[in-house]
């Protein structure tokens, strides 16, 4: 097992300098005959440039980082597939981290990526802006996907409700009062406002009045959109949040059903929440859609397998990942402000008319 050929070996074998070999392989200028000879020798030696040398020289690692809360969340898996597809097309590596929805782990993973000199990062953020400031300061090119980091928590507004208001203002492009947005990071997100609004209107049209929102970490925008869609007097009890885990999602769903037997419809902010809602409803002998209607964010393959098949707000997870990867790779020019992808309400069988 002899070591791999280096650029030096190629240079010697071809009778040229290393600089010439580098130029030829990087697409620089060289005379046709030199180019041909170098190429031939390189192929014959099965030479592959070492990313290590190159990276050290240019003081940056190629490729990109990808930070996701949880891969077993099918939507995140779809998003990751999109990123991987784009990276594969570009021949670039992707270093992946799973944060478990925990800002602290997220922070550690950012540190790890910094150490690796990975300077391009796609993230479905879990922490708030304070978590992300270090990465930005370190000169990373960051693109957020699916969500934006929450505003940093401060004394006055640390409950989901007021965060939701903040996010809603953000949603409108309105500067959030005295605190201007410190992070200027492009993002690829779905049109949560339209998605939620369409779903709520659909449920309204079926006669539902008491509609609940079941959210997870990072669903503040959706919660805000929900509040806006149902109208001014939001029943705070009808907006509940779980933490990242499946257990927590189940507990939140079950708690919601039990504490508010009067609700007749639920909007789940993500597929893990939707899964929990189905499970909790079944456990409590609530029939879907007879007793409670359900619409779930994310169209995942198994939504169709449920019975009844789940009515969902579909967002293009794969595209989202692909676009984010494109954005982070072509960050040469000025970066676009952000991309918003459309959502689509796919009506299956989990919503029925309200029965008083």
Partner DNA sequence: CACCAACGTGGATACGTTTTCAAGCATCTC
Partner DNA sequence: GAGATGCTTGAAAACGTATCCACGTTGGTG
> Which residues are paired to 98 by β-bridges?
68
Over the window 304 to 343, marking each residue x when it contacts its own copies by CB under 8 A and - when it does not, the resulting string is xxxx------------------------------------
Taking the complex as a whole, the smallest distance from the CB of residue 67 to DNA amounts, in Å, to: 23
Judged by beta carbon, residue 34 or residue 105, the one nearer DNA is 34
Judged by beta carbon, residue 55 or residue 198, the one nearer its own copies is 55
Burial 35-44 (b: 16+ CB within 10 A, else e): bebbbebbee
Q: Going by DSSP bridges, is the β-strand pair 344-346/311-314 parallel, antiparallel, or unpaired?
A: antiparallel
The interaxial angle of helices 74-90 and 317-329, nearest 10 deg, is 40
Under the binding rule (CB under 7 A), the answer on residue 54 touching DNA is yes
In Å, how far are 196, 316, 320, 326 from 342, measured between CA atoms?
Answer: 12, 8, 10, 18
Taking the complex as a whole, the smallest distance from the CB of residue 93 to DNA amounts, in Å, to: 15
CA distance 310 to 320: 22
In Å, how far are 83, 142, 171 from 65, measured between CA atoms?
Answer: 10, 9, 27
CA distance 274 to 215: 10
- Footprint of DNA on 57-116 (CB under 7 A): 57-59
Under the binding rule (CB under 8 A), the answer on residue 111 touching its own copies is yes
Of its own copies, DNA, none, which one sits near residue 243, judging by CB under 5 to 8 A according to partner kind?
none
**Chain positions contacting its own copies, by CB under 8 A:** 1, 3-4, 48-53, 55-56, 59, 61, 63, 66, 70-72, 74, 77-78, 80-81, 84-85, 88, 91, 93-98, 105, 108-109, 111-117, 137-139, 246, 275, 278-279, 300-302, 304-307
**Chain positions contacting DNA, by CB under 7 A:** 3-4, 6-8, 15-20, 22-23, 25-26, 29-31, 33-35, 47-50, 52-54, 56-59
């Amino acid at each position: 097992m002899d070591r791999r050929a280096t650029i030096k070996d190629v240079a010697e074998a071809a009778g040229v300098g290393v600089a010439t070999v580098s130029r030829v392989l990087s697409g620089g200028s060289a005379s046709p005959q030199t180019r041909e000879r170098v190429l031939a020798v390189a192929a014959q030696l099965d030479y592959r440039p070492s990313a290590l040398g190159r990276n050290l020289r240019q003081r940056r690692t190629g490729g990109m980082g990808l930070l996701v809360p949880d891969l077993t969340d099918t939507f995140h898996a779809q998003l990751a597939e999109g990123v991987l597809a784009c990276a594969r097309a570009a021949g670039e590596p992707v270093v992946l981290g799973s944060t478990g929805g925990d800002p602290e782990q997220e922070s550690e993973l950012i540190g790890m990526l910094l150490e690796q000199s990975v300077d391009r990062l796609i993230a479905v953020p879990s922490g708030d802006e304070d978590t992300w400031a270090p990465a930005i300061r370190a000169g990373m090119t960051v693109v957020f996907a699916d969500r934006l980091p929450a505003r940093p928590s401060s004394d006055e507004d640390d409950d989901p409700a007021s965060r939701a208001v903040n996010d809603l203002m953000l949603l409108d492009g309105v500067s959030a009062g005295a605190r201007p947005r410190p992070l200027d990071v492009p993002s690829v997100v779905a049109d949560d406002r339209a998605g939620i609004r369409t779903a709520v209107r659909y449920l309204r049209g079926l006669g539902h009045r008491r509609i609940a929102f079941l959210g997870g970490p990072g669903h503040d925008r959706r919660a805000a959109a929900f509040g806006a869609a149902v109208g001014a007097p939001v029943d705070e009890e009808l907006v509940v949040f779980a933490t990242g885990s499946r257990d927590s999602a189940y507990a939140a769903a079950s708690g919601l059903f039990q504490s508010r037997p009067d609700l007749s419809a639920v909007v789940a902010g993500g597929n893990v929440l939707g899964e929990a809602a189905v499970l909790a409803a079944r456990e409590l002998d609530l029939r879907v859609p007879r007793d409670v209607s359900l619409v779930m964010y994310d169209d995942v393959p198994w939504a169709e397998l449920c019975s009844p098949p789940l009515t969902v707000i579909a967002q293009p997870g794969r595209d989202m990942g692909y676009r984010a990867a494109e954005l982070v790779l072509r960050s040469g020019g000025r970066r676009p402000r952000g991309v918003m992808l459309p959502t689509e309400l796919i009506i299956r069988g989990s919503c029925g008319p309200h029965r008083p």
